[in-house]
Chains A and B, each alone.
Chain A
Amino acid sequence: MNTGLTSFSNPGDIGPLYPFAGLEVPLVIIGVALWILFHVIATRDENREWEEADAAFDASILLPGSDEPPHMRG
């Protein structure tokens, strides 16, 4: 069992150094899927975050003399 190279004795004959050479296409497909999944999750989570923040809005921060949001006051 080996995942790629078993000898470095003839470096001039070596091409790819990484394991599982030949499976680059499936690797790229997995990578692209993970990238798209990131955008989906990040967008969904952020939308939820802003909805919650919108609902939790406290108008007292707009009063004169209030310099920061309530959640930052400790």
Chain B
Amino acid sequence: MRTPRVSKITLGLTLALALPVVGAAQESHIGKLTGHSKTGQELYTRYCWGCHGARGDGNGENAPYVTPLPRNFVSATFKCRSTATGTLPTDEDLFDAITRGFNTSNMPSWAALTGQQRADLVAFIKTFSPRWKTEGSGKPLAIPAEPALTVQSINQGKEVFQKLECAKCHGQEGRSDGPSAATLTDSNDQPIRPYNFSVGGRFKCGSTNQDLYRIFMTGVDGTPMPSFADVVKPEEAWDLVHYLRTLQVSEKSPELKLWESTKEGAAIVQAKKVANTRTGSGLTP
């Protein structure tokens, strides 16, 4: 039987352990906004702990029911970065992720919060891992201006797609059905599917051409999607962006419109649209 003293100690330890393992106070800087971790902690307690957990380890009470698993802020591996693979994202990257949410996951857009609140949350998230103090954010990738869209650029992008063996995971038509697709797992050993271009939909890390460029140049850390920054030249990367847009046959992009205006492209796009109809809902698996 426990003595009252032991009970008090137990209660104290329980509460101490329950409190987030917060490092030194952090700040975030996004444009003119300065976020403060103290305020961010209150917001985190209100909005985030159910999935990300009190300790920020992605082990909230809902984690068992959430697919993909909530982000683990302690390991500080982030999918959406403007920085090189393996490095920490910038404050803007985290801010944008909170604002945008993650499509096809349980993480919604928090655009309804004020900019200051999102900046405060960024500051608090940075308290979970000591890496923010020891390493700091990586250097953002420089993205050159997008060149003019041409049929030649799309064709060259198709060659890059083949050269990088993107089809191994994404499939020849970007249908998420490459030979490796079914075997992929993320850093949590959870099954993960490659992005299915054929049904369109927002990318997890943004929706613009620049975002798409950034995604394959920096990689998606914690997933099998590597960084191609060392093997792809900027002009090739833009060609690839233009080609990947033509795989999104349900999106009305300028790239798809141009591609459909060619004899070859029109036939391919039409065939893909018919295939989409046959596959039913076209929802991303």
- Do A and B truly interact? no
Residues of B within 8 A of A (CB): none
Residues of A within 8 A of B (CB): none
